[in-house]
C-alpha cells in the first residue's frame, strides 16, 4: 500500500481540476509515425500533462549498456552506444521535416550519448546506473517537444526531476510533487500542453532515481492525484483490459468498466496492461483511470473507477511461475501459533504468499518466487513433512460481489470439470476466485472458462 509523506492537502487552483493526464507507453512512441500520431492525439484543446515513457526498446538497450559497464567491457559499451545512436539518428531523420530542428535534435542526442560515455572513465555505481536508465525518458520527451515546436504547437516540457521525488521508503513525496506542480503550472497558465517523463524521479538525497516497476503509469497516477485531475489516461497498444488473456485465447473482448479492486486483482494475477500498484494514487484520490489504445483511439477502452458496474464475472487472468508448498503435520491439530510460526519462516526469507488453504493436519500455500528456496524448505521441515509442486499457474476469476451472488461458483467449477484443481481460494475477496492448476492445463482452463462464463469460443 502506498503511503504519502508530507501534507498532501494543498489547495490547488480551480483550473487544475479540469486538467487530464495522458501517459503514452514505449510502443506508442516506437516509430516516427507513432510519435507524430501521439502528437496529434494530445492536441484536443484540453489542458493536460502528457507523461512519456522511453521509446520502445530503448530501456532494454540501456540496461545492456549498464550491464557491460558493470563488467568493465568498454568495447561492448561503445559498440552498444554507437548502435543506439545510429537508431536515433534514423528516427530523427524520419521525424523532423526541417533541417534546423533536425540538427537541433541530433545535437541534443549527442549530449545524451556523451553523458553515457562519460561513465566508462569512472568507477561505476548504482547512482550512475540510474542516471543512464533515465536517458530514455529524457530523450523521448525532448523529441516530442521538438516535434511540437516544428509543428508550431505551444507546449512546455517540465522535467520530472523538478517535481517528482520519493521519500526514504521509496514512496512518493506528495507534498513536494503537489507544491512544485502547482508552482510550475501556475506560472505558465497560458500553456495547454505540459510534457514530462515517466519512471524517473529524485530520491530523498536529491539524486536521480526511478520509480517502481510500471513506473510511467505510476508517474501518471501520482501526477493525476497531485493536480486533482479530471481523469488519468493510460495509452498502450491494446484497447483496454480484456475479459481473458488475448495471448492465449483468440476470442476475447474488452471490458467497458472495472472497479479499482477488480483492476488490481487482474493486474496482480497476470493482466500485463497494468501494474497493480501503479494506479493506487489515482484510486486514493478518486480519479478515474481510462485505458486507451493509441492505434485505435476511437475505441472506448476501459474505465477504472470506484463505481461498481454490476455483480457479475468480468474477466480472467493467469499468473505463471507459481510454486505450491504443502506442510503436513499432526502437530497442527489444536496447536496455537502453528500458522504464525510457518508465516514467520516466509517472512525471514522475504518471500510473500499468494494463496493459502488449511485443513486439520496440513497447510498448502503458493509463492511467486524464482530464486533458490532450498533454505526455506529446510527450515519448514522442522514443522512437518514438506511437499513442493513447481510449474503451477493461478487462474483468477474477477468480478464484483462474486461470493454473494448465487450461481457463480457452479459456472466456474462446471467449466473446469475436466481439469484437476490443486487449490481453491474462494471467499477471501468479494472480487476474486483463485484456482491453482498445473501450468500444462493453463490454456485449456482459460478456453473452458471463456466458453462457460462468457459464451465465447477459445
Same domain, 201 and 347: no
Q: In which band, very low, low, confident or very high, does the pLDDT at 7 lie, cut at 50, 70 and 90?
A: very low
- What is the predicted pLDDT for the residue at 162? 96
Q: In which band, very low, low, confident or very high, does the pLDDT at 334 lie, cut at 50, 70 and 90?
A: low
Domain that holds residue 171: 16-237
Task: Write the CATH number for 142.
Answer: 3.40.1160.10
- Interval 181-194 mean pLDDT: 93
Task: Write the CATH number for 411.
Answer: 3.30.2130.10
Question: Among 181, 209, 237, where does a domain finish?
Answer: 237
Domain count, the chain: 2
- Interval 352-360 mean pLDDT: 89
Question: Is the pLDDT higher at 359 or at 190?
Answer: 190
- What is the predicted pLDDT for the residue at 336? 76
Most confident of 97-111, 165-179, 274-288, 409-423: 97-111
- What is the predicted pLDDT for the residue at 227? 94
In a domain, 104, yes or no: yes
In a domain, 284, yes or no: no
Same domain, 189 and 49: yes
pLDDT in tens, 249-264: 999 999 999 999 899 8
In a domain, 268, yes or no: no
pLDDT at residue 423 tops 70 = yes
Residues with Cβ < 8 Å from 441, sequence gap 6 or more?
A: 393, 419, 420
pLDDT at residue 420 tops 80 = yes
- What is the predicted pLDDT for the residue at 3? 39
- What is the predicted pLDDT for the residue at 1? 35
Cell numbers describing residue 178: 503537489
Same domain, 228 and 323: no
Q: What angle do CA 180, 181, 186 make, to 5 degrees?
A: 105
- What is the predicted pLDDT for the residue at 457? 81
Same domain, 220 and 322: no
pLDDT at residue 118 tops 90 = no
Q: In which band, very low, low, confident or very high, does the pLDDT at 401 lie, cut at 50, 70 and 90?
A: low
pLDDT at residue 383 tops 50 = yes
In a domain, 287, yes or no: no
- What is the predicted pLDDT for the residue at 275? 82
pLDDT in tens, 215-270: 899 999 999 999 999 999 999 988 899 999 988 999 999 999 999 989 988 888 87
- Interval 413-437 mean pLDDT: 90
- What is the predicted pLDDT for the residue at 23? 97
Question: Among 237, 253, 270, where does a domain finish?
Answer: 237
pLDDT at residue 8 tops 50 = no
Dist. CA 18–CA 46, nearest whole Å: 8
Same domain, 164 and 30: yes
Same domain, 30 and 125: yes
In a domain, 279, yes or no: no
Same domain, 232 and 321: no
**Per-residue b/e over 60-93, b at no fewer than 16 CB within 10 Å?**
ebbeebbebbeeeeeeebeebbeebbeebeebbe
Same domain, 39 and 183: yes
Same domain, 199 and 325: no
Same domain, 233 and 330: no
Residues with Cβ < 8 Å from 402, sequence gap 6 or more?
A: 313, 408, 430, 431, 432, 433
pLDDT at residue 14 tops 80 = no
Q: In which band, very low, low, confident or very high, does the pLDDT at 329 lie, cut at 50, 70 and 90?
A: confident
Computed over every residue of the chain, the mean pLDDT equals: 90
Dist. CA 277–CA 256, nearest whole Å: 21
Same domain, 322 and 448: yes
Same domain, 133 and 34: yes
pLDDT at residue 85 tops 50 = yes
pLDDT at residue 332 tops 70 = no
Strand 257-259 relative to strand 313-328: parallel, antiparallel, unpaired?
unpaired
Percent of the chain with pLDDT over 90: 72
In a domain, 346, yes or no: yes
In the numeric block, the cell 523521448 is attached to 140
Q: Of the given ranges (11-15, 84-88, 228-232), which has the lowest mean pLDDT? A: 11-15
Question: Is the pLDDT higher at 17 or at 330?
Answer: 330
Question: Backbone phi, then psi, for 155, in 5-degree steps?
Answer: -150, 160
In a domain, 181, yes or no: yes
In a domain, 232, yes or no: yes
Amino acid at each position: 500500500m502506498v503511503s504519502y509523506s508530507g501534507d498532501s492537502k494543498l489547495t490547488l487552483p480551480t483550473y487544475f481540476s479540469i486538467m487530464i493526464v495522458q501517459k503514452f507507453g514505449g510502443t506508442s512512441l516506437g516509430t516516427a509515425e507513432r510519435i507524430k500520431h501521439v502528437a496529434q492525439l494530445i492536441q484536443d484543446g484540453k489542458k493536460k500533462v502528457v507523461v512519456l515513457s522511453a521509446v520502445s526498446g530503448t530501456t532494454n538497450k540501456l540496461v545492456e549498456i549498464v550491464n557491460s559497464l558493470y563488467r568493465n567491457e568498454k568495447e561492448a559499451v561503445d559498440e552498444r552506444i554507437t548502435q543506439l545512436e545510429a537508431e536515433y539518428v534514423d528516427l530523427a531523420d524520419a521525424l523532423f521535416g526541417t533541417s534546423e530542428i533536425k540538427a537541433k535534435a541530433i545535437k541534443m542526442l549527442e549530449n545524451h550519448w556523451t553523458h553515457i560515455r562519460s561513465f566508462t572513465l569512472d568507477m561505476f555505481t548504482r547512482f550512475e546506473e540510474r542516471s543512464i536508465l533515465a536517458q530514455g525518458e529524457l530523450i523521448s520527451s525532448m523529441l516530442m517537444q521538438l516535434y511540437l515546436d516544428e509543428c508550431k504547437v505551444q507546449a512546455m516540457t517540465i522535467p520530472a526531476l523538478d517535481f517528482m521525488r520519493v521519500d526514504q521508503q521509496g514512496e512518493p513525496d506528495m507534498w513536494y510533487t503537489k507544491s512544485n506542480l502547482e508552482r510550475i503550472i501556475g506560472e505558465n497558465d497560458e500553456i495547454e500542453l505540459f510534457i514530462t517523463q515517466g519512471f524517473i524521479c529524485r530520491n530523498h538525497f536529491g539524486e536521480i532515481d526511478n520509480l517502481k516497476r510500471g513506473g510511467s503509469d505510476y508517474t501518471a497516477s501520482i501526477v493525476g492525484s497531485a493536480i486533482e485531475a479530471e481523469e488519468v489516461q493510460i495509452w498502450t497498444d491494446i484497447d483496454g483490459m480484456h475479459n481473458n488473456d488475448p495471448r492465449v485465447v483468440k476470442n476475447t473482448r474488452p471490458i467497458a468498466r472495472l472497479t479499482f479492486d477488480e483492476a488490481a486483482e487482474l493486474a496482480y494475477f497476470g493482466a500485463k496492461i497494468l501494474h497493480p500498484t501503479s494506479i493506487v494514487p489515482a484510486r486514493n484520490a478518486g480519479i478515474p483511470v481510462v485505458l486507451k489504445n493509441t492505434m485505435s483511439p476511437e475505441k472506448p477502452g476501459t474505465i477504472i473507477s470506484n463505481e461498481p458496474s454490476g455483480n457479475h464475472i468480468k474477466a480472467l487472468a493467469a499468473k505463471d511461475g507459481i510454486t505450491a508448498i504443502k506442510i503436513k503435520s499432526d502437530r497442527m491439530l489444536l496447536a496455537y501459533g502453528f500458522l504464525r510460526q510457518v508465516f514467520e519462516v516466509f517472512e525471514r526469507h522475504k518471500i510473500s504468499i499468494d494463496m493459502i488453504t488449511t485443513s486439520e493436519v496440513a497447510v498448502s500455500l503458493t509463492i511467486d518466487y524464482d530464486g533458490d528456496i532450498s533454505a526455506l524448505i529446510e527450515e519448514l521441515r522442522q514443522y512437518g513433512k514438506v511437499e513442493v509442486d513447481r510449474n503451477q499457474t493461478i487462474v483468477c476469476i474477477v468480478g464484483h460481489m462474486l461470493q454473494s451472488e448465487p450461481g457463480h461458483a457452479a459456472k466456474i467449477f462446471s467449466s473446469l470439470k475436466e481439469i484437476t484443481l490443486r487449490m481453491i481460494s474462494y471467499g477471501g475477496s468479494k472480487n476474486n476466485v483463485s484456482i491453482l492448476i498445473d501450468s500444462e492445463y493453463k490454456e485449456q482452463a482459460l478456453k473452458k472458462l471463456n466458453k462457460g462464463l462468457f459464451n465465447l469460443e477459445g
